[in-house]
A and B are shown apart, each in its own frame.
Chain A
Amino acid sequence: MSEQNQQTDSLQDVRDIRRLMERSSRFTSLSGLSCVAAGVCALGGAFFGYRFISNYYGQDDPGKWHYSNDQFAALKNELLLLAAITFVLAFGLSFFFTWRKTKQQKSSLWDHSSRRVFWNMAIPLVAGGVFVLGMLKYDEWSFVAPACLVFYGLALVNAGKYTLADIRYLGYCEIVLGLINMFEIGYGLYFWAIGFGALHIIYGIIMWNKYDRKIES
């Protein structure tokens, strides 16, 4: 074998090694558009949430400010339903865009690396979800937004080890935002809109720019 030949062979070997190391340890098919879609859903959810709440409190007649329990219960149900719809839409859309990217990359949506991302994300997320439901049970609404942000941030930091590194930074931002919110109770919806809406859209665009643009064009 000539030296030239051996060199190209070695180069190919190294490329193979690199590709397999990356593919086996990180789930790289996460699409930036998934993130943007989740952000848009969250902003939509926050907008309607704001409308519901201001309709409830914003009545001109101050006599109605003292809410009857029935009305308040209805508002709670409306908000819970809204949250569920927002979550399903956001999850569905981000799932779709990532699924599309795995198709383009001819990789699998459910393999060794995506499973690991899933579990590492699910554990803090489910813990946080149950925690928040527990707070709702005791009618403790003030800490819902910060708790959502902090647990979601922890889930992202945890899962970030096994997917694109940007996810980890998004997680840090969510945690910081949640903690600030903890000391500014009452502005939960705004923090929620920034954390789940704006941050997702910003990071989504950054990620799309960094990884997806080459594939799409």
Chain B
Amino acid sequence: MNGLNGESANKECELKVESLTMKNPITGLNKVFDNRIRLGVMSILVVNEEVSFNDLKQMLEVTDGNLATHLVSLEENGYIKVHKGFIGRKTNTTYSVTRNGEKAFSDHIAALENMIKGVK
């Protein structure tokens, strides 16, 4: 568990540097989406209006802590919005994609497409 936390802390440091130059100038790929979990979160959110933390966790098959860190970094980049709500007394946090996030994601997909085609 410690190892995992250390790793995600490292990732976050990286991310702060990255956010200045999020796009790789050569490939056009967005560095934020290099990570599988972040890419997964975005894939789910672009086709669903609002998804709760638990549903994301279930679909991506990740641990709470791991998912939380990646959600925070996506939020800091302004790609997703967080809504805190309650169901009875239990907190129910849901996430949705922002306009910026949608744009960044579709740019990323276009870059992936180019990469697959072998065009730079």
Nearest B-chain residue to A13, judged by Cβ: B112
* A/B pair count, beta carbons within 8 Å: 55
Which residues from chain A contact B115 at a C-beta distance below 8 Å? 6-7, 10
Which A4-34 residues have a C-beta within 8 angstroms of B?
6-7, 10-11, 13-14, 16-18, 20-21, 23-25
Nearest A-chain residue to B29, judged by Cβ: A10
B118 touches A (CB below 8 Å) = yes
Contact of A24 among B43, B109, B113 (CB under 8 A): B43
A25 and B47 in contact, given A6-B27, A6-B115, A112-B58 (Cβ under 8 angstroms): yes
Chain B: residues with Cβ within 8 Å of the partner, total of 23
A11 and B39 in contact, given A20-B59, A111-B55, A111-B58 (Cβ under 8 angstroms): no
A16 near B43 with CB under 8 A, answer yes
Nearest B-chain residue to A108, judged by Cβ: B58
Chain A: residues with Cβ within 8 Å of the partner, total of 18
C-alpha gap A17/B60 in the complex (Å): 11
C-alpha gap A53/B48 in the complex (Å): 49
Q: Which of B40, B51, B112 has the most CB of A within 10 A?
A: B112
C-alpha gap A13/B46 in the complex (Å): 15
Instruction: Annotate B41-71 by CB proximity to A: 1 below 8 A, 0 otherwise.
Output: 0011011100110010011100000000000
Which residues from chain B contact A112 at a C-beta distance below 8 Å? 48, 51-52, 55, 58-59
Q: Which of A16, A17, A108 has the most CB of B within 10 A?
A: A17
A111 and B59 in contact, given A6-B115, A7-B118, A14-B109 (Cβ under 8 angstroms): yes
B59 near A25 with CB under 8 A, answer no
C-alpha gap A10/B116 in the complex (Å): 6
B36 touches A (CB below 8 Å) = yes
A24 and B59 in contact, given A6-B27, A17-B39 (Cβ under 8 angstroms): yes
B58 near A17 with CB under 8 A, answer no
A7 near B116 with CB under 8 A, answer yes
Enumerate chain B interface residues (CB-CB to A < 8 A).
Answer: 27, 29, 33, 36, 39-40, 43-44, 46-48, 51-52, 55, 58-60, 109, 112-113, 115-116, 118
A-B contact pairs, 13 of them (CB 8 A): A3-B118, A7-B118, A11-B116, A14-B113, A14-B116, A16-B36, A16-B39, A17-B43, A17-B109, A20-B43, A21-B46, A24-B43, A24-B55
Given contacts A16-B36, A111-B58, 10 further A-B contacts (CB under 8 A): A6-B115, A20-B44, A23-B59, A24-B43, A24-B48, A24-B55, A24-B59, A111-B55, A112-B48, A112-B58
